[in-house]
Amino acid sequence: MDTIDRALDVGGLRNDAARAFIRQWAAHTQPAAVEVVSAADDARLVAEALAAGEFAPVTGGRYYARSYVKDTARSEERTFVATSNPADRGVYNNWLPADEVKPVVERLMAGASRGKTMYVIPYLMAPPGTPLDAWAAGVELTDSRVVVLHMIRMARVGAEHLDRLADPSHFVRGVHVTGDLENLEQGTAADKRYFVTVADERLILHFGSSYGGNALLGKIAHGLRQASYDGQASGRFLAEQFMLIGIEDRQTGRTRYLCGGFPSASGKTNLAMMVPPPAFAGRYAVYFLGDDIAWLHVDPDDGRIYAFNPEFGVFGVAKDTNERSNANAIVAVGPGTATLFTNTAYNEQTRDVWWEGRTPEPPADLAGWRDWRGEPIGGRPPERQRSGAAGDEWSHPNSRFTTALASVPNLSPEFDNPKGVPIDAIIFGGRVRDREPLIRALTSIPDGVYDGLTLGAEATFAAEGKEGVLRYDPMSMRPFMSYAEGRYAQRWLDVIGGASQPPVFAHVNWFQRDARGRYLWPGYSENLRALLWLLDFRDGLVRGRETPVGVLPRREELNLQGLSLDGATLDLLLSVDLERWEREVRSREEYLSQFTGLPAPIWDAHRRLAQAVRRGLSA
């Protein structure tokens, strides 16, 4: 018996197909050793990471790591979906023929793990026992211990997850090779990074990063890209970049479940960890099920849509996370949670972390503080120490915390229900300055699906695009699309249309501003008020006001108890600027025309909206 076989035996990895996969890739990337890991290895691996200098200690049994300076975020330009079927090419999925791109990545990976350990991470992207378990198992091979420690928090990790498969060879095969980060020419024309999901082979090959979705293959590559492909290939489910929450009404004893998509930086994690406003705390509770991914399916027993979060942890943006924006997150990353912080600022004397927005001002005493690059703040010229200007931040804008679901204070007891929770409402929300009202309900499935497909967030100077121009992000899946958008829209119509009690759809916007640029709505906890209106609307307890763009709350239908908001502001929040909408309709026409095979009911919904807006304007 050779050393690889022995390592697999020691790690309890009995699955023959997995063993063959590991042997094949070990022969190719040439690691010095192979090691199977499980969640039980966490403490030992943390100790090794501390000893190796990959982690620095944070008080309360938490840890800190810096990434390579040019490896700080998911790269959309270097991410590709490959298949053998050209019909899978979409507008957003960067489709490549599998036989063309596979050899390119394989060449980059050849011998690239020399001298390192190849960690074998068997994992499950689902609560154990789910009806979708045929699509949930995977094996990630990685040459990074830090990646292993993140995966242990973000997914259910252990060889046992491969022992229960109905078809033992049906698991996602993921290969992650870090590569020589200092010589990959990131962001240039000669960029050597490749993040490829070969979706029709269920094979994920990621080369050239050890950050977030580039390297934790269970999360985005499997949980979203591969899963959405599997969902349509099997006809069994949808996989979406959605948060998932429960709202309990203690008066009726009922808990209702909502899920929904928001483009990045639109507050999904804050929404899912929401604390009800003080005036509501006695009556309502909000429960967290997930902040980034939901798999949706129709339950054969009652015909309703059920959803679960396939993840096991939270990989949250640190920036602006504080007691007011997200009190539950502050607890979830607190002492005793074994949280991993990446690319925040770090104090090597006090073993503390800080990020922009954690407190209004950075720590007053600069002693021991280093920025995310590892440079001492005290070593900067005084005017750059606390300017907050771009480039002077202490933490990277995409710095993150990684913590287990179990540490989230408002975690729902249903989070690991294998079937998921029944969905009452699906919401979409972007960051829109002056067109989208606080909330508008959509009463037909095609109208709701159309609304999701036309979701977007306004570009800022920081992101690509012209200031204020909408960057469309269908269902918030733009970076995670795995097949053509027309077919994707049809899948949505089929799945939701096949439900016995379809959820109600709504569009929300917490980011409306007045002419002077001030936010009209306080957001955060107060967002619960809009969601409660939606549930009342679904139950027929309120009727709302019909407008060309959907049903809006009447002023008196929103529960504003404990919130001081003047009448003029409220009117603005619940108003529809039809002239802005007319421009939006034209821009949607252009956007939707890019997609081939968009189903007729989607175009019909678009024309209905266009006509209603026109009629409203001439009324």
Residue 242 within binding range of ligand SPV, rule CB under 6 A: no
Cβ-based nearer residue to Mn ion, 245 or 585: 245
Order of strands, sheet of 345-347, starting from the edge strand that comes earlier in the sequence: 352-354, 345-347, 369-370
Cβ-based nearer residue to Mn ion, 140 or 292: 292
Token code pair at residue 444 = 């037909």
Residue 220 within binding range of ligand SPV, rule CB under 6 A: yes
Query: Given the DSSP bridges, would you call strands 95-97 and 79-83 parallel, antiparallel or unpaired?
Result: parallel
Cβ-based nearer residue to ligand SPV, 408 or 439: 408
Query: What is the 3-state composition of the chain as percent helix, strand, coil, each rounded to the nearest 5?
Result: 35, 25, 45
H or E stretch covering 98? helix 98-109
Residue 292 within binding range of ligand SPV, rule CB under 6 A: yes
SS3 205: strand
Cβ-based nearer residue to ligand SPV, 74 or 319: 74
Cβ-based nearer residue to Mn ion, 144 or 476: 476
Residue 438: exposure state from Cβ atoms within 10 A (0-12, 13-18, ≥19): buried
Quote the least distance from Cβ 74 to ligand SPV, whole Å. 4
Per-position x/- string for 81-120, each x denoting binding to ligand SPV as judged by CB under 6 A, each - no binding:
----------------------------------------
Quote the least distance from Cβ 596 to ligand SPV, whole Å. 26
Number of residues that bind ligand SPV (CB under 6 A): 8
Per CB under 5 A, the segment of 287-295, 321-329, 491-499, 548-556 that binds Mn ion is 287-295
Amino acid identity, residue 195? F
Token code pair at residue 284 = 């309502």
Cβ-based nearer residue to ligand SPV, 212 or 246: 212
Write out the binding residues for ligand SPV, residues 302-321 only, by CB under 6 A: 315
Quote the least distance from Cβ 225 to ligand SPV, whole Å. 10
| Distance in angstroms (rounded) separating the CA atoms of residues 66 and 345 | 9
Q: Which does 559 bind (CB under 5 to 8 A by kind): ligand SPV, Mn ion, none?
A: none
Burial 210-226 (b: 16+ CB within 10 A, else e): bbbbbbbbbbbbbbbbb
With CB under 5 A as the contact rule, the residue among 71, 200, 292, 424 that binds Mn ion is: 292
| Distance in angstroms (rounded) separating the CA atoms of residues 294 and 261 | 10
Quote the least distance from Cβ 400 to ligand SPV, whole Å. 8
Quote the least distance from Cβ 296 to ligand SPV, whole Å. 18
Cβ-based nearer residue to ligand SPV, 219 or 435: 219
Quote the least distance from Cβ 617 to ligand SPV, whole Å. 37
Concatenating the DSSP letter of every residue in 431-479 gives --SSSS-SEEEE-SHHHHHHHHHT-EEE--TTSSS-TT-EEE-GGG-GG
- Rg, Å, the chain Cα set: 24
Cβ-based nearer residue to ligand SPV, 140 or 292: 292
343 contacts 73 by C-beta, under 8 angstroms: no
Q: Which does 310 bind (CB under 5 to 8 A by kind): ligand SPV, Mn ion, none?
A: none
Per CB under 5 A, the segment of 53-61, 191-199, 285-293, 404-412 that binds Mn ion is 285-293
Q: Which does 74 bind (CB under 5 to 8 A by kind): ligand SPV, Mn ion, none?
A: ligand SPV
With CB under 6 A as the contact rule, the residue among 72, 209, 255, 264 that binds ligand SPV is: 264
Per CB under 6 A, the segment of 212-220, 280-288, 465-473, 534-542 that binds ligand SPV is 212-220
| Distance in angstroms (rounded) separating the CA atoms of residues 313 and 415 | 11
Amino acid identity, residue 437? P
DSSP letter for 223, please: I
Residue 219 within binding range of ligand SPV, rule CB under 6 A: yes
Residue 74 within binding range of ligand SPV, rule CB under 6 A: yes
Order of strands, sheet of 400-404, starting from the edge strand that comes earlier in the sequence: 56-58, 62-65, 340-342, 400-404, 313-317
* Footprint on this chain of ligand SPV (rule: CB under 6 A): 74, 212-213, 219-220, 264, 292, 315
* Footprint on this chain of Mn ion (rule: CB under 5 A): 292
